Structure 1
Amino acid sequence: MKIIVPMAGRGSRLRPHSLTVPKPLIPVAGKPIVNRLVEDIAKILKEPIEEIAFILGDEAFFGADVVANLEQLAKSLGAKASIYRQDLPLGTGHAIMCAKDSLSGPAVVAYADTLIRANFDLDPEADAVIWVKQVDAPEAYGVVKLNENSEIVELVEKPEQFVSDLAVIGIYYFKEIGDLKDELQNVLDNNIQNGGEYQINDGIKAMMSNGKVFKTGSVDEWMDCGNKNVTVQTNSRMLGFLKDDGENMVDANVVLENATIVPPCYIGKNVVLKNTTVGPNVSLGDNAKVTDSTLKNSLIQSNVDIKNANLDNAMIGNHVSFDGNFTSISIGDYSVLE
Structure 2
Amino acid sequence: MKIIIPMAGMGKRMRPHTLTVPKPLLPIAGKPIVQRLVEDLAKVAGEEIEEVGFIIKESFGEEVENKLKEVAASVGAKGSIYYQGEALGTAHAVLCAKDMMEGKMMLAFADTLFKADFNLDTSKDGMIWVQKVDDPSSFGVVEMNDQNEITGFVEKPDEFISDLAIIGVYYFRDANYLKNELQYVIDNNILDKGEFQVTSALDNMRKKGTIFVPATVSEWLDCGNKDVTVNTNQRYLEFIKDENLVSQNAEIQNSIVIPPVYIGENVKLHNSVVGPHVSVGDNTMISDSRVKNSIIQKDSSVKDANIANSMIGNFVHYQGTPSDVSLGDFNTVKGLYDN
Same fold (TM over 0.5): yes
Q: Which residue of the partner structure matches residue 253 of structure 1?
A: 249
1:7 pairs with 2:7 = yes
CA distance in 1, matches of 2:118, 2:255: 42
The answer (yes or no) to whether the contact 2:46–2:120 under 8 Å persists in 1 is: no
CA distance in 2, matches of 1:42, 1:124: 13
The answer (yes or no) to whether the contact 2:123–2:173 under 8 Å persists in 1 is: no
1:334 pairs with 2:325 = no
The answer (yes or no) to whether the contact 1:123–1:215 under 8 Å persists in 2 is: no
1:47 pairs with 2:47 = yes
Q: Which residue of the partner structure matches residue 226 of structure 1?
A: 224
Q: Which residue of the partner structure matches residue 34 of structure 2?
A: 34
CA distance in 1, matches of 2:232, 2:75: 24
CA distance in 1, matches of 2:289, 2:90: 43
CA distance in 2, matches of 1:36, 1:109: 15
Which ranges of 4 or more aligned residues in structure 1 deviate by more than 2 Å? Answer: 121-126
CA distance in 1, matches of 2:115, 2:135: 21
The superposition leaves residues 276-330 of structure 1 with CA deviations (integer Å, 9 ceiling, x where unpaired) of 1000000010111111100000011011111111001010000001112232110
CA distance in 2, matches of 1:316, 1:232: 11
SS in structure 1 at match of 2:44: helix
Q: Which residue of the partner structure matches residue 337 of structure 2?
A: none
The superposition leaves residues 203-230 of structure 1 with CA deviations (integer Å, 9 ceiling, x where unpaired) of 1011011011000001111100000000
In structure 1, runs of 5+ residues without a counterpart are none
Q: TM-score, normalised by structure 2?
A: 0.97
Q: Which residue of the partner structure matches residue 309 of structure 2?
A: 313
Alignment of 1:1-338 (within 5 A): 1-58=1-58, 60=59, 62-123=60-121, 126-243=124-241, 246-338=242-334
Amino acid at match of 1:222: W
CA distance in 2, matches of 1:319, 1:124: 44
CA distance in 2, matches of 1:252, 1:122: 36
* Deviation of the 1:252 alpha carbon: 1.1
CA distance in 1, matches of 2:222, 2:240: 17
CA distance in 2, matches of 1:153, 1:178: 22
CA distance in 2, matches of 1:141, 1:326: 36
Amino acid at match of 1:153: T
CA distance in 2, matches of 1:122, 1:225: 24
Deviates more, 1:118-127 or 1:35-44: 118-127
CA distance in 2, matches of 1:74, 1:328: 34
The superposition leaves residues 120-171 of structure 1 with CA deviations (integer Å, 9 ceiling, x where unpaired) of 1334553110000111111111110001111001111111111111100000
The answer (yes or no) to whether the contact 1:24–1:34 under 8 Å persists in 2 is: yes
The superposition leaves residues 73-124 of structure 1 with CA deviations (integer Å, 9 ceiling, x where unpaired) of 2223221111100011111000000011111111000001011111313345
Amino acid at match of 1:201: T
The answer (yes or no) to whether the contact 1:272–1:290 under 8 Å persists in 2 is: yes
CA distance in 1, matches of 2:296, 2:245: 14
CA distance in 2, matches of 1:177, 1:266: 37
* Deviation of the 1:189 alpha carbon: 0.7
Q: What is the aligned-residue RMSD (CA, Å)? A: 1.0
SS in structure 1 at match of 2:186: helix
The answer (yes or no) to whether the contact 2:312–2:328 under 8 Å persists in 1 is: yes
CA distance in 2, matches of 1:301, 1:264: 17
CA distance in 1, matches of 2:98, 2:250: 46
The superposition leaves residues 235-277 of structure 1 with CA deviations (integer Å, 9 ceiling, x where unpaired) of 011011111xx21001112112211111000011111111110
The superposition leaves residues 41-91 of structure 1 with CA deviations (integer Å, 9 ceiling, x where unpaired) of 000110011111111112x2x211111111122223221111100011111
The answer (yes or no) to whether the contact 2:136–2:164 under 8 Å persists in 1 is: yes
CA distance in 2, matches of 1:135, 1:185: 32
The answer (yes or no) to whether the contact 1:17–1:333 under 8 Å persists in 2 is: yes
* Deviation of the 1:195 alpha carbon: 2.2
Amino acid at match of 1:248: N
SS in structure 1 at match of 2:153: strand
